[in-house]
Amino acid sequence: MSDLTSLSNRLIILLAAASALGPAAMQILLPALPVIKDTFQVSNDVAQLTLSLSMFAIAIGTLIYGPLSDKYGRRVIMLLGLVITIAGSIFCFLATSIDLLILGRFIQAFGGAAGLVLARAIVRDVYEAEDAARVIATLVMVMVVIPMLSPALGGELMDQFGWQSVFIAIAFFGVLIFLFSISYLPETLREPIPFEGAGAVLVTFMSLFKSPAFCGYAFCVTFVSVVFFSFISAAPEIMVSVLDRPPTEYGYYFIMIPLGFMSGNYVTLYFGRSKELNRLITWGASISIVGIALAFILLSLGIKHPLALFVPISIAIFGNGITLPNAMAAAINEFPNLAGSASGLTGFLQMAFSAVAAQVVALIFNGTVYPLLVMMFSAAVLSLVSFKLGVSAERQAATA
């Protein structure tokens, strides 16, 4: 049992690194996809499975690790996930066929999901909702920014040592996090929740879904993530085929996106104690809608400069940086005794919906930026509507 009342900066950094490992491992391979296609003589769709199935593996993992950690503890399940990530990375390095590589990537991503779920659950074990939102803002900032930078690292490793070297890099970082976790990660679960099998897990998830407030916050998080993942999956192609810019420029303009998100996180960190959590969520969701609408306006006026896309979208992502940590903390806070399960279910909804959105964006692309903006705008509106409906229903139930 833990009597922790706060986490040290060292532990917060450790949790941030653990939460970033899975997404970073998923995205570090992006520059190597054309090379993998040629190496194994497969189609682009098959090579793409090394990415899309990784997203689904993370989604599945988030469902499993939460309930397990509610029974067996955060620390042991975190260590287990890190071991699986390391094993999957080595498996990928040794893969001699595309099938084995896809399998290895699935194992790698499945292990990496543990950090995503358990870092948030550990924070919620220790802090109340408002303080948890501030700490989760730090975790989310690292979780998003490091994966954003990982393709650049992957490209450099690929040029210097070959595309397989990215798996050694992930295994190396996984081992480092594992060793630090053994030394410094405490057990924060106060009261274990009995685990009665898959049927009981489903019952737990259904009890979470019965809460209007949880659904409101969880789907707010989900649609905010759809906004983000839709953009990063489509922006490289739009940069080249719609805005007529060389792919080398994409990385420079893309810097605005993590900067926008980090700025939103800093707003949460700064105002987290002085502003009510639901007010911050409303601010963030509204800013996101305005940013995407601005992109519509500028591009409709015939401005085909990348800044007409990236500046307003960075504003939208700034809003996401405010909304995401607050809505995530609020979702988990609805059931403090089921923090692992709540975190896992929220993470599953995030990754599952985002994986589908990434595929849909590719399918509806028509040579213009408008299908992407329509999807992003719809998701931004749904994030705000989900939140408002959930909170409203909860208030009505409380006064009934």
CATH of the domain at 226: 1.20.1250.20
**203 part of a folded domain:** no
CB 212 within 8 A of CB 353: no
Lowest mean pLDDT across 80-84, 100-104, 302-306: 302-306
**158 part of a folded domain:** yes
Question: What integer pLDDT is reported at residue 130 of this predicted model?
Answer: 61
How wide is the angle at C-alpha 396 spanned by C-alphas 394 and 400, nearest 5°?
A: 120
Question: What integer pLDDT is reported at residue 195 of this predicted model?
Answer: 62
**201 part of a folded domain:** no
pLDDT in tens, 226-240: 998 888 777 777 877
Please identify, among 145, 165, 195, the residue that sits at the C-terminal boundary of a domain. 195
In this predicted structure, the answer to whether residue 211 has a pLDDT above a threshold of 50 is: yes
Q: Taking residues 206-229, what's their average pLDDT?
A: 91
Question: What integer pLDDT is reported at residue 299 of this predicted model?
Answer: 92
Question: What integer pLDDT is reported at residue 1 of this predicted model?
Answer: 43
Residues 224 and 352 in one domain: yes
**230 part of a folded domain:** yes
Q: Which residue has the higher pLDDT, 289 or 5?
A: 289
Task: For residues 111 and 88, give the distance between their C-alpha atoms in angstroms, rounded to a whole number.
Answer: 8
Query: Please, what is the average pLDDT of the chain?
Result: 83
**68 part of a folded domain:** yes
Q: Which residue has the higher pLDDT, 192 or 383?
A: 383
Residues 223 and 167 in one domain: no
Residues 309 and 188 in one domain: no
Percent of the chain with pLDDT over 90: 32
**Sign of the alpha-carbon dihedral angle for 255, 15, 50, 83:** positive
**343 part of a folded domain:** yes
Task: For residues 69 and 78, give the distance between their C-alpha atoms in angstroms, rounded to a whole number.
Answer: 8
CB 54 within 8 A of CB 108: yes
How many distinct structural domains can be found in the chain? 2
Nearest to 87 by CA among 68, 109, 116: 109
Kindly state the helix (H) or strand (E) to which residue 341 belongs, with its residue range: helix 339-364
- In which domain, by residue range, is 299 found? 210-400
